[in-house]
Amino acid sequence: MKIIEPHIHTASRTTDDLERMATAGIVAVMEPSFWPGSDRRYAGAFFDYFNHILTFETSRLAQFGMKHFCAIGVNPKEAENLALAKETIAGMGEYLDHELAVAIGEIGLNNITENEEAVFLMQLEIARDRKLPVVIHLPHFNKIEGLKRVLAAVEKTNIPRNLVLVDHNTEDTFATSKDAGVWCGMTIYPTTKLTPRRAADIVYEYSADKTLINGSADWGISDPLAVPKTVALMRRDGKDDKEIQKLVYDNPIAFYGQSGKFVL
């Protein structure tokens, strides 16, 4: 089965991880912009990072036959330095123009502060004006309040709901995201998010429509094979391959394909 990993930070993974991903059936990934482990101090550091994921990470994955696409943005973990965030956002245009930049993200909320919301709104407006998909980060904690603020920002900026992916949903938030008409993401991550079993059960309850699952696989304890392992679980549960394929292949193409640049 062909699998697309729609949210993973390959810059934090080894070449052994990439080989395992390809062997497990992953044919393409989407890498959102992320926090590097310590806050950046200069806009140039963001720009070097954007260039790195658009070029070097793409070449790394190509060695294993996987296509690599990116989302560009200022992650909420680095939104507190408002002046730096504004300078970075002002210079993002050339990276968003890149043929492999298929979305803005991941943006959103972390600690749910005024500065985070300001930086979030600025980038939502860019996504709206450029008609680009946007990947939104729900907080690891206080998710219900975070989702409430996220949906208010979506409403305020009048960005089409079909361009919006609210990621890191759990059982507490999935139904509300679904009812809002946005795309709903779930992250298979052992500490602050979901297990394969919990994610699969949510899919069974609500269907695979406008739903994505991902592993994130960043600097923390995480698994670059989270999506293939969830596929294996769903097969053991007796789910039809067509339903699984929709979740892990067709849906990522439908969402990111709105950019006109997510071409396999």
- Please count the CA atoms within 13 angstroms of the CA of 182 that sit on its side-chain side: 28
Mean pLDDT of the chain: 97
Instruction: Report, as an integer, the average pLDDT of 99-127.
Output: 98
Return the pLDDT at 190.
Answer: 83
Q: Domain 3-259 belongs to what topology? A: TIM Barrel (3.20.20)
> CA-to-CA distance for 13 and 102, rounded, in angstroms?
21
Give 59: exposed, middle or buried? Use CB within 10 Å, 0-12, 13-18, 19+.
Answer: exposed
Whole-number pLDDT of residue 140: 87
Task: Count the Cβ atoms, other than its own, within 10 Å of residue 170.
Answer: 17
Q: What is the pTM of this model?
A: 0.97
Confidence of residue 192 (pLDDT cuts 50, 70, 90): confident
CB-based contact 63:25 (threshold 8 Å):
no
Which residue in this structure is represented by tokens 């392992």?
Answer: 229
Token pair recorded at residue 108: 């959103």
Give the pLDDT of residue 91. Answer: 98
CA distance 154 to 124: 7
Mean pLDDT of 178-204: 95
Cα separations in angstroms, 103 against 98, 134, 180:
11, 5, 20
